[in-house]
Amino acid sequence: MKIKKLLPIRIKNIIRTLRGFIYCIIYLGKGRYCPVCGKQLRKFGKSGVDQRDDVKCLKCGSLERHRLVWLYFTKVSDLFDGKPKKVLHIAPEFCFEKRLKKRIATGYITADFNDPEAMIKMDITDIHYPDESFDVIYCSHVLEHVVDDISAICELHRVLKKSGWAVILVPITGERTFEDFSIIDPDERLKVFGQEDHVRIYGRDFVGRLKKGGFKVKVIAPSDFLNNDEILQMGISAESGEIYYCTK
C-alpha cells in the first residue's frame, strides 16, 4: 500500500498545495489557463493511471472535467447569481470545495461516505434529507463506485427541488454500460473497469439510467457554450466528457 493512501486528507491537501506552488514556478508561462483558480501556466501537468500529459492544473489540481464544469457554473448556470441556495456537493473535489463554500456560504453542504473532512457522512442510496431539500446538486465521478446506482439516482432526484437542477457526471468510455458484480478483486477491477474501486464502466446509455431515476436530462457539450480558443487554452478535450444537466 502506498504511504500517501495512509495520510489524513487534510495532510494530503497541504502537500498538494505546496507541490502546486512549486510546480507553478517550474511551469511558469502563458500556454494554458485554469478558470478554476485563474492561474496561467506554460502547460498543465500529468495525471491519471496512464499519466496523461498536459491535463492537470498544477496550482489547484483541476482536470479537464473540473474546468469544464466550472466554466458551466460561471458562464451558463445561475449558481453564482447571488440568490440564497442550498447546494449539495457529493464527494467534494479539492479544487472546488473552498471556492464553492466561499461563494455559496451557509447553503453549501459537502457529503461523502468515506471522507472524514466532508460535512456529512452520506450513503447516496439512502440520503437522510427530506424530499426537495436542495436547489442544486453536484455529483461527479461517484456513481461508478456505487453498486446500486439507480437507487442513488432516485435519491438524488427525490431530494432535488422541483425548481432545482443537478449536474451528475460519470466517466463515459463506450456506447453501452457494462457491469459485473462478481468481479470483486481490486486488481481484476482495475483491469476490467479501469480503477480498483469501480464497479462498472458507463456508456452513452447513461442518459437512460438518469431518466430511469426520474430525471429529465439535457446533454451539454463543451462546444455548446465555449469557443475554440477557450477550449484550447483551458485544456478542454474529449476526456472532459459532457455535462449531464438534470431537472425534474
Alpha carbon 2 to chain centroid, angstroms: 24
Alpha helices in the chain (DSSP H): 9-26, 64-75, 94-104, 149-159, 186-193, 206-212, 228-233
Cα(161)–Cα(133) distance, rounded to whole angstroms? 6
Q: Please check whether residue 156 is in contact with residue 168, taking contact to mean a CB–CB distance below 8 angstroms.
A: yes
Domain ranges of the chain: 1-62, 63-247
First to last CA, the chain: 43
pLDDT in tens, 98-140: 999 999 999 999 999 998 889 999 999 999 999 999 999 999 9
Specify the pLDDT at position 210: 98
Instruction: Say what the pTM is.
Output: 0.88
Phi and psi angles of residue 205, each rounded to the nearest 5 degrees, phi first:
-75, 5
- For the stretch 38-42, contacts whose Cβ atoms lie closer than 8 Å and that sit 24 or more positions apart, written own/partner, are none
4 CB-side CA count, 13 A: 5
pLDDT in tens, 193-243: 999 999 999 999 999 999 999 999 999 999 999 999 999 999 998 778 899
CATH class of segment(s) 63-247: alpha beta
